[in-house]
Amino acid sequence: MKHLLAARDVCEAEAWASRLVRLGGPRDAAQAADAFLAAVDRFPENDLIPLLEVVAAHGGHAEGAKLYAWVTEKGLADNSRLDEIRMQELVGEVLITLARLEFSAAIPLIADTAFECQKWQLQYDAVLGLLHLDCAEYQDRIIRGIQACYGHSIFPEAMPALVCKVIDKDVQAQMLHELYELGTFCSLDCNSGIVEGFARSGAAGRPYFKAALYDPFWECDEGGTGTLWASYQGLDLQGLTFAEIIYDLHAMTDPAQRRHVTSLLVALLKQRAHDVTGTHIENFLELHRLLDDDSLHQELREVQQELCEAQRLIELRMRLLVMDPSSDPAVISGYSERF
Residue pLDDT, tens place only, 282-321 = 988 899 999 998 888 888 888 888 889 999 999 988 887 7
pLDDT band for position 18 (50/70/90)? confident
Query: Could you report the per-residue pLDDT of 156-166, keeping only the tens digit for each?
Result: 999 999 999 99
Query: Could you report the per-residue pLDDT of 220-235, keeping only the tens digit for each?
Result: 998 878 899 999 999 9
pLDDT band for position 177 (50/70/90)? very high
pLDDT at 339: 31
Closest CA to 243 of 282, 284, 207, 192: 282
For residue 324, is pLDDT > 80? no
Residue percentage of the chain with pLDDT more than 70: 91
pLDDT band for position 81 (50/70/90)? low
Residue percentage of the chain with pLDDT more than 90: 65
pLDDT at 278: 65
Q: What single-letter amino acid sits at 293?
A: D
pLDDT at 1: 72
**Which pTM was predicted?**
0.89
Q: What gap in Å lies between CA 84 and CA 76, rounded to an integer?
A: 9
Question: For the residues 184-212, what does the mean pLDDT come to?
Answer: 97
For residue 337, is pLDDT > 80? no
252 or 329: which leads in pLDDT? 252
pLDDT band for position 42 (50/70/90)? confident
Question: For the residues 79-104, what does the mean pLDDT come to?
Answer: 82
Q: What gap in Å lies between CA 124 and CA 193, rounded to an integer?
A: 10
